[in-house]
Amino acid sequence: MKGAILSFAHIHAFSYIECLKRIPEVEVSAIADEDEDRGKSIASRFNTRYYRDYQDLLKSEDIDFVVVCSENAKHKDMVIASAQAGKHILCEKPISTDIKSAKEMIETTNRYGVQFQIAFPVRFSPIVRRVKNMIDNGEFGKIFAFNCTNHGKMPGGWFVDKSLAGGGAIMDHTVHVMDILRWYLGCEAEYVYAEGDTLLHNIPSDDVGLVSVTFENGIFATIDTSWSRPKSFPIWGDVNIYMTAEKGAVEIEVFNQNLSLYNDKTMSVSWLGWGSNMDFLMVKSFISSIKENKPVEVTGYDGLKAMEVALAAYRSIELQEPVKLPLEE
Amino acid sequence: MLRVGIIGAGGMGKIHADCWSKIKEAKIQVICDIEKDKAESLAKIYNTDTATSSSDVIKRSDIDIVDICTPTPFHADDIILALKSGKHTICEKPIARTLESAKEVIRVAKEVDVKFMTAHVLRFFPEFSTAKNLIDSGAIGIPRMARMKRGGPYPVGKWNDWYSKVEMSGGCLVDTGVHDFDFLRWIFGDAERVYASALTWKNILHKDYGLATIRFKSRAMAQVEITWAHPPKTPMKVGFELIGTEGMLTYDNYSSTPLRIMKEGETFNTFSMESPITEDPYLGEIEHFVSCIKENKEPLITPEDAYRALEIALACIESARTNRPVNVGGEI
């Protein structure tokens, strides 16, 4: 099976290509990147063909699937063109930057009969899955609430450019946790209230966000989406989910399987993960969905519903009141 | 010698009595509780008189200080009576159950020439006061954001199960959250608006939990998690993250505990975590109040501070009831 990476604008592309290389029956044979210097050097490093224009790459008949890692606002065109070219698609999150384009992406991939998965690797974490199984077994009784964080360092670059990212920290960091909560509860968000602002960095986008979600079944949650980890923080960020239920409480700290490295050469401390590689588990699942022609584990619709909460958060900040879902297009 | 009357011989009354007994220039004169045996068993330890009516204590001429450790809805009336009777008064948090009665306390406190302080003891906990000092010294740049968590099992087995009556305790966001709201104001100044979700109004017996988002006038924001929903007999959990333009301060009582004692017969779930420290925050609080009386100083926690913390707490449960953001900071 042959695949291609469309754009290395999102740094996760490097992890995905490494993970794909570990799957014996998969070959990454081409990449496309608008940035010619970056693209050529990556192509030579991973020994693939290079295309400046992804449209040219999509003409290659030997390519079975693509991984889309462009800036958020460019997902839509790449996904639709890839579907039209008959390629299966793994698309970086968030699915896009507005409801209308997300719906169009879902519809087009359906029409052309290609697999379309959104890259929510946290779904594949054995820690997160362990709790999913316990919830499904009813071990906690009735669930009451979630207190969640997806923190990061300020990423800079196109992430702070609203025209490319569709927002700032709230757009970047609402969706991973939101996807897990929807998956855990089998239920959609009904109300979103948010506070967001630019408080920590001198950037044009929001860098802090507190997104409050009330689900249709009354369960409530807060997601802290802030790029609030200082530059000196020993790891990139976190995904933490603290659940309170009738029969107990659960604290999930997804990126807590670390070693601490005290490094005199850099005079810094870093936390280096030894836990399961979720990216690998995710791409493996995507490949097996293609091979066995079975539904992907995280659908375009999941991507749409998670992004909708981020969009609702921005609207709530504008209105200073809770916003009811679903949003209009 | 400062002569003290303690009203309320429950959990907080016991802690305060222990502190007063350690203050050289103070003497506990009388301990009062509507449950006579509670007053008597505590009075026996400190060799004091007993009473079952707070007004009997407050009216006594041989009392200089009234220390109010009763359930929340009884605070305001006793504070007002004590202040009007010319007694220095220290009262457990929150200052009152309603803003109206808190306003009345403030009005009276302004008229009298005695000291009054609401016991927001968090300001005397070294992990919190050290954080405040570090922030004041610029350790994290300009403070902009905070995450606070506090809680544990439901406070069961108390008088009349009063914690479970929202009209009395206000639930976890009022009773416990008020600690963090006062601390956040200490760091960020006055709040602007509040949004919260909570179990408080859902009538789940002996479970309460709340998540609050607070926006400050300085634009800073904070997220506060308060729980009374952990399983019985699990340890209290406290933590914070304070984030500024140039750094972050974090605290977590589980991970910073310096002492873990595992005795035979105990399991992972029952071994004890301790954090011994020579400076008892409750004693520090009482000592501060005594020094304010002796040196005629303004107490660290003003009546307005206590009012504003209560205002945020009540705004939280109002927001949780209505699913609307609630503005705070109105005139007192």
Report if residue A302 sits inside a domain.
Answer: no
Q: Indicate if A245 and A176 belong to the same structural domain.
A: yes
Q: Indicate if B323 and B183 belong to the same structural domain.
A: yes
Give the model's pLDDT for residue B278: 83
Helix (H, G, I), strand (E, B) or coil at B100: helix
Between CA A68 and CA A84 the distance in angstroms is 14
- From A227, which residue of chain B is nearest by alpha-carbon distance? B243
Give the model's pLDDT for residue B269: 64
Q: Indicate if B48 and B97 belong to the same structural domain.
A: yes
Cβ of residue A319 closer than 8 Å to a chain B Cβ = no
Q: Indicate if A265 and A245 belong to the same structural domain.
A: yes
| Residue A193: both structure tokens together | 């209230």
Q: Indicate if B36 and B185 belong to the same structural domain.
A: no
Q: Closest approach of chain A CAs to the CA of B248, in angstroms? A: 7
CATH of the domain at B47: 3.40.50.720
User: Cα separations (Å) of B146 from A142, B201, B273?
Assistant: 29, 26, 26
Residue A66 has pLDDT above 80, yes or no: yes
| Last residue of one domain, picked from the residues A56, A86, A114 | A114
Report if residue A267 sits inside a domain.
Answer: yes
Between CA A209 and CA B139 the distance in angstroms is 23
Span A33-53, mean pLDDT?
97
| Last residue of one domain, picked from the residues B119, B149, B181 | B119
| Last residue of one domain, picked from the residues B61, B92, B119 | B119
Q: Indicate if A173 and A319 belong to the same structural domain.
A: yes
Q: Indicate if A106 and A138 belong to the same structural domain.
A: no
**8 Å CB contact of A228 and B145:** yes
Q: Indicate if A63 and A198 belong to the same structural domain.
A: no
Q: Indicate if A172 and A319 belong to the same structural domain.
A: yes
**8 Å CB contact of B230 and A322:** no
- A51 compared with B264, residue with greater pLDDT: A51
**Rounded to the nearest 10 degrees, what angle do helices B303-322 and B177-188 cross at?**
120
Span A192-199, mean pLDDT?
98
Task: Report the candidate in A66, A50, A173, A45 with the shortest Cα–Cα distance to residue A116.
Answer: A66
Q: Indicate if B74 and B100 belong to the same structural domain.
A: yes
Q: How many domains does chain A have?
A: 2
Tell me whether strands B116-119 and B208-216 are parallel, antiparallel or unpaired.
unpaired
Q: Indicate if A225 and A109 belong to the same structural domain.
A: no
In total, the C-beta contacts within 8 angstroms joining chain A to chain B are 92
**8 Å CB contact of B207 and A246:** yes
Indicate which of A195, A214, A251 best probes the interface with B, i.e. most B CBs within 10 Å of its own CB: A195
Q: What is the mean pLDDT of chain A?
A: 97
Q: Closest approach of chain B CAs to the CA of A212, in angstroms? A: 8
Contacts by A108-111, CB closer than 8 A, 24 or more apart:
A108/A79, A108/A80, A108/A83, A108/A84, A109/A79, A109/A83, A109/A300, A111/A83
Q: Indicate if B191 and B75 belong to the same structural domain.
A: no
**Rounded to the nearest 10 degrees, what angle do helices A300-319 and A99-111 cross at?**
170
Q: Indicate if B182 and B217 belong to the same structural domain.
A: yes
Tokens 């963090």 belong to B180
Span A218-243, mean pLDDT?
98
Q: Indicate if B172 and B314 belong to the same structural domain.
A: yes
CATH of the domain at A255: 3.30.360.10
Q: Indicate if B137 and B272 belong to the same structural domain.
A: yes
| Last residue of one domain, picked from the residues A114, A146, A171 | A114
Give the model's pLDDT for residue A328: 85
CATH of the domain at B149: 3.30.360.10
Tell me whether strands A220-224 and A237-245 are parallel, antiparallel or unpaired.
unpaired
- Which tens digits make up the pLDDT trace of A255-303? 999 999 999 999 999 999 999 999 999 999 999 999 999 999 999 999 9
- From A196, which residue of chain B is nearest by alpha-carbon distance? B221
Q: Indicate if A130 and A104 belong to the same structural domain.
A: no
The domain of B115 spans 2-119
- From A249, which residue of chain B is nearest by alpha-carbon distance? B230
Residue A243 has pLDDT above 70, yes or no: yes
Q: Closest approach of chain B CAs to the CA of A184, in angstroms? A: 19
Cβ of residue A271 closer than 8 Å to a chain B Cβ = no
Report if residue B301 sits inside a domain.
Answer: no
DSSP characters for B217-247?
A: TTS-EEEEEEEEEEPTTPPPEEEEEEEETTE
Q: Indicate if B146 and B97 belong to the same structural domain.
A: no
Contacts of B204 in chain A (CB under 8 A): 144, 246
Contacts of A195 in chain B (CB under 8 A): 195, 213, 215, 221
What is the pLDDT tens value at each position of chain B, 332 positions in all? 999 999 999 999 999 999 999 999 999 999 999 999 999 999 999 999 999 999 999 999 999 999 999 999 999 999 999 999 999 999 999 999 999 999 999 999 999 999 999 999 999 999 999 999 999 999 999 999 999 999 999 999 889 999 999 999 999 999 999 999 999 999 999 999 999 999 999 999 999 999 999 999 999 999 999 999 999 988 899 999 999 999 999 999 988 888 888 888 877 666 677 778 888 999 999 999 999 999 999 999 999 999 999 999 999 999 999 999 999 999 99
Contacts of B241 in chain A (CB under 8 A): 228
Report if residue B66 sits inside a domain.
Answer: yes
Q: Indicate if B168 and B93 belong to the same structural domain.
A: no
Give the model's pLDDT for residue B186: 98
Report if residue A271 sits inside a domain.
Answer: yes
Q: Which of B147, B220, B229 sits opposite A199 (nearest CB)?
A: B220
Which ipTM was obtained for this model? 0.94
Give the model's pLDDT for residue A72: 98
Q: Indicate if B68 and B165 belong to the same structural domain.
A: no
Report if residue B288 sits inside a domain.
Answer: no
Q: Indicate if B127 and B251 belong to the same structural domain.
A: yes
Across B14-50, b (16+ Cβ under 10 Å) vs e yields: bbbbbbbbebeebbbbbbbbbeeebbeebbeebebbb
**8 Å CB contact of A199 and B147:** no
Phi and psi at residue B288, to the nearest 5°: -60, -45
Report if residue A283 sits inside a domain.
Answer: no
Handedness of CA B166, B236, B74, B96 (dihedral sign): negative
Report if residue B291 sits inside a domain.
Answer: no
Cβ of residue A11 closer than 8 Å to a chain B Cβ = no
Report if residue B215 sits inside a domain.
Answer: yes
**8 Å CB contact of A244 and B231:** no
Q: Indicate if A319 and A233 belong to the same structural domain.
A: yes
User: Which positions 185-224 of A are in contact with B (Cβ < 8 Å)?
Assistant: 191, 193, 195, 197, 199-200, 208, 210, 212, 214, 218, 220-222, 224
The domain of A188 spans 124-275+307-324
Cβ of residue A297 closer than 8 Å to a chain B Cβ = no
Span A124-131, mean pLDDT?
97
- From A222, which residue of chain B is nearest by alpha-carbon distance? B211
Angle subtended at Cα B285 by Cα B282 and Cα B287, rounded to the nearest 5 degrees: 110
Give the model's pLDDT for residue B12: 96
Contacts of B197 in chain A (CB under 8 A): 145, 212, 214, 220, 222
User: Cα separations (Å) of B327 from A133, A258, B323?
Assistant: 41, 42, 13
Q: How many domains does chain B have?
A: 2
